[in-house]
Amino acid sequence: MTDTSEKRDNGFVRFLKRKWLAIILVILLIVIAIQNGVADETSKIFLLFWHVEWPTWVVVLLVFIIGGIVGWIFARNRAARKARR
């Protein structure tokens, strides 16, 4: 192997070592969404005076997306604080 391919392999291995938990969570999310999509169940969500009835897989994906956005915001704020130091 050449040095370039070794660096590329090492980069991929580093990526997997840093992101393994996120990869497992995404796979778990996909499995849960598929299982709930096949079951065709609905979930009722109450927010103050309103309530909405959605398929469970939509609720799972919505919670995942909201969690991802919140995590991204916290990571940005943390990076900005580190940059100010």
Average of per-residue pLDDT values in the chain: 79
Overall average pLDDT of the 37-52 stretch: 82
Q: Is the pLDDT of residue 1 over 80?
A: no
Q: Which helix (H) or strand (E) holds 80?
A: helix 56-84
Backbone angles phi, psi at 46, to 5 degrees: -105, 130
Among 42, 37, 66, CA closest to 52: 42
Confidence of residue 10 (pLDDT cuts 50, 70, 90): confident
User: Comparing 19 with 69, which gets the higher pLDDT?
Assistant: 69
Which single residue is written with the structure tokens 């995404």?
Answer: 26
Residue ranges in 40-55 assigned as alpha helix (H) = none
More confident residue, 28 or 80: 28
